[in-house]
Amino acid sequence: MTSKPVEHHKVVLIGDSTVGKTQLITRLTKNRFDAQGRTQGIEVSSKTVSVNKADVKVQIWDTCGQEQYRCVSAPYFRGALGALAVFDLTSRKSLQSLQSWIEEVRSKAAPNVQIVLVGAKDDLQTERQVNPAEAQSFAASEAVDYIETSARTGHNVEAAFALVMRKVVAEGGLGRSLNSISLSSVPNRPKLKCKC
């Protein structure tokens, strides 16, 4: 007997290497913060989050942010209804890089993909290079919402995913995407290797 594939809303994480994308996912899905190396290729995980008191299943895609591994392309973004654009609050450069990441997600993900700007590592206040006003101004220029998080303390981690999902659901969620993807259709889970 084959079980019916579970439909998940696809959300991708984008942003430079070491900004904290994988730790956000680890905190959300395992409630842990632990030392991990750079992400290799593409990793997919899933989680149910509460949106407007309803359970919404999210399929979360993560990849390596290193410039030389910018092999992420069509398959990574295809069908994504939401994106968390992550920068490190202790690195202004990582905020500046998001402009090209956001352009890429807008051109390759589902039409009207919902993006939330995430300032990561807000536990490192003394090392901060980007102040809230600067981040808010960038968010306004890209017409996206902004939230500050810490995977280390857990601050606002679930809230960031819930925020992007609220926006996705408000846009019609899976119902509007012909490209929605079921977990069973992701080849070689949990890890896909880059071909670059």
Ligand X SMILES: Nc1nc2c(ncn2[C@@H]2O[C@H](COP(=O)(O)OP(=O)(O)OP(=O)(O)O)[C@@H](O)[C@H]2O)c(=O)[nH]1
Residues that bind ligand X (CB under 6 A): 17-23, 36, 38-39, 64-66, 120-121, 123-124, 150-152
Half-sphere exposure (Cβ direction) of 148: Cα atoms closer than 13 Å: 15
- Name the minimum Å distance from CB 147 to Mg ion: 19
Helix 21-30 with 157-170: angle, nearest 10 deg: 90
Please tell me whether residue 94 adopts helix, strand or coil conformation. Answer: helix
d(CA 125, CA 175): 41
Regarding 22 and contact with Mg ion (CB under 5 A), the answer is yes
Regarding 39 and contact with Mg ion (CB under 5 A), the answer is yes
CA 194 to chain centre: 18
Measured from the CB atom, the residue of 104 and 171 that comes closer to Mg ion is 104
* DSSP for residue 14: E
- Name the minimum Å distance from CB 21 to ligand X: 4
- Name the minimum Å distance from CB 80 to Mg ion: 17
- Name the minimum Å distance from CB 101 to ligand X: 11
State the Cα angle at 24 between 143 and 126, rounded to 5°. Answer: 80
d(CA 13, CA 62): 5
129's contact among ligand X, Mg ion, none, with CB below 5 to 8 A by partner kind, is: none
18's contact among ligand X, Mg ion, none, with CB below 5 to 8 A by partner kind, is: ligand X
Site string for Mg ion, 133-152 (x = CB under 5 A): --------------------
d(CA 195, CA 104): 19
179's contact among ligand X, Mg ion, none, with CB below 5 to 8 A by partner kind, is: none
Measured from the CB atom, the residue of 60 and 135 that comes closer to Mg ion is 60
Q: Which residues bind Mg ion (CB under 5 A)?
A: 21-22, 39
